[in-house]
Structure 1
Amino acid sequence: MASYFDDKTILITGAASGIGRRFAETVASRGVRKLVLWDRNPDVLDEVAAGIGDKCQVITHGVDVSSIESVTTHAEKLKSEGVVPDLILSCAGIVVGKMFHEHSAEEIQRTLDINTTGSMWVVHAFLEEMIERGSGHIVNLASASGYIGNPRMSVYAASKWAVIGWSESLRLEMGKLNTGISITSVVPSYIKTGMFEGVKAPFLVPLLETDQIVELMIKGISKKKSKIQAPFMVRFVPFIKSLLPERAFDWVAGNVLGVYRSMESFEGRERDKEKE
């Protein structure tokens, strides 16, 4: 049976860990021709490439998506070699996990640069070539926090609200221009990648296993879905917010579902703490 990923070139950011890494490892055996893996930790990318072996061609670059110079330099290098991705998957992301007033200016800027602006820069670097070719697929990793605010996630939530708004607008633009380019937003709740180590899963919204969300992504991308939302309860959040008065929704989210307490025991990933 033919796979949607057959003979495709896929660029993945944040490919050294979490969803990005697992997605790369999974699709490598599903007919992909070439994987381009970008991350700020190139040594770990070498390990990922070694694990993939000869399943497909793997290109690794140490790219910091928060740096326009880094993104542009490596994008131009790929294009000079005739490499324009068929699919771009933006997984690079960080979370600080503090009350807003506790953030430093650097932490605010870094979160927005990596989670939002970096994704835009990566897509922008290849979009004209995709439009000229008449095909492509852009997949942006958002978050359920882009639907609902949460204490200790103000900057992270802002970055993911922006990703959702940008993705929806980009989808409409690409459709209006008949470019043949699909846009998919992935909107998960907490995932067991280490990035949200210590969080407490809200009621009815269990922590997702990495393999679980990756398989959902593979299925949804193959069907060119505009949104992939998980777990099931996530897709109802915008609807419930539209029905309930603000105070009523806050009471349900905070006291019934426990969403607003979920970050109280947050620890995060050690390597991210070291870089803050």
Structure 2
Amino acid sequence: MSFRGKTVVITGASSGIGAASCIEFAKKGANLALVARRKEKLVELEKTLVKFGINTSVCECDVSDKTQVQKMSSQVMEKFGGIDVLVNNAGFAIYGTVSDLTIEEIESQMETNYFGMVYCTKKFLPKMLEQKSGHIVNVASVAASFGLPGIASYCASKFAMLGFSEGLKHELKGTGVGITVVSPIMVKTNFFDHQSFKHMPKYSPTALSAKTVANAIVSAANSSRLEIIVPSAVRGAVWIKHTFPYIVNPILGSVFRKQMAKKNLFF
């Protein structure tokens, strides 16, 4: 599908999945609002997008801050006059048990991963409803379906995102506005650069490229589905987990507890 002339807002655009998504949408002719905290990274990205002949806007914004989201959304509307696709991609994780993490560390993940998505959705949804068109793509994770030790607070933020999206999808029926969640497995990005992961193996052999997930996000922007799991084969694992949790949960818990025990040996 061509997005030529469409306006796409992407949060967490400075690197990883967000930056890759900007490139894939640009290839299809979309005008882009690049949203992230690191302005210098956005400026670098904007330079790489010049060759596509699209309009862009660099929006320095911490999506966990309502005031900054308000300013960013006003900037987008002034520049483009509307919005066709919102990609809520900004997010991060801090590794650690619930007992070891501080309240502030747990809150910070929810503030960015969940409430940041809510703030952006609340600012742009009214315009989509007015237009009777638009699509919201929320970038979650298979962690939205599996509660895993060591990243319980991150999982909670993604569970919340999926639940919010499902409820909103029902509310949007018949409005012309859609919503789809993209839930990838591990992705090769700077996600694991946080110091809490320093003693953990960064990637598994099955880890996806950011481009693979970006292509799924582009597809999601024109999809009627609630959730797209990347790769699709993992959908079977999600089904098994929900259907036979009494079998799957003990196995998952054992595997991850062993991994955490190995990590603790390094301290």
Q: TM-score range by the shorter chain?
A: 0.7 to 0.9
Structure 2 residue aligned with 1:49: 46
Distance of 1:152 and 1:136 partners within structure 2 = 36
- Consecutive unaligned residues of structure 1, counting only runs of 5 or more, are 267-276
Distance of 1:241 and 1:72 partners within structure 2 = 39
Report deviation, 1:216: 2.6
**Residue pair 1:147, 1:237 contacting (<8 A) in 2 also:** no
Distance of 2:81 and 2:258 partners within structure 1 = 45
Structure 1 residue aligned with 2:197: none
For residues 10-29 of structure 1, what are the structure 2 equivalents within 5 Å? 10-29=8-27
What TM-score, normalized by structure 1, do the two folds share? 0.85
For residues 259-274 of structure 1, what are the structure 2 equivalents within 5 Å? none
Distance of 1:231 and 1:147 partners within structure 2 = 14
Question: SS at the partner of 2:20?
Answer: helix
Distance of 1:127 and 1:192 partners within structure 2 = 31
For residues 1-276 of structure 1, what are the structure 2 equivalents within 5 Å? 3-32=1-30, 34-55=31-52, 56-81=54-79, 83-175=81-173, 178-196=174-192, 198-199=201-202, 201=204, 206-246=206-246, 248-254=247-253, 258=255
Report deviation, 1:82: 5.2
Distance of 1:223 and 1:250 partners within structure 2 = 31
Distance of 1:140 and 1:265 partners within structure 2 = 33
Structure 2 residue aligned with 1:272: none
Report deviation, 1:200: 5.3
Report deviation, 1:80: 4.0
Question: SS at the partner of 2:87?
Answer: strand
Question: SS at the partner of 1:212?
Answer: helix
Q: Percent identity?
A: 29
Alpha carbons of structure 1 residues 192 and 223: separation in structure 2 relative to 1, 3 Å: same
Report deviation, 1:148: 0.7
**Residue pair 2:139, 2:182 contacting (<8 A) in 1 also:** yes
What TM-score, normalized by structure 2, do the two folds share? 0.88
Question: SS at the partner of 2:221?
Answer: helix
Count of aligned positions: 255
Structure 2 residue aligned with 1:270: none
Report deviation, 1:76: 2.1
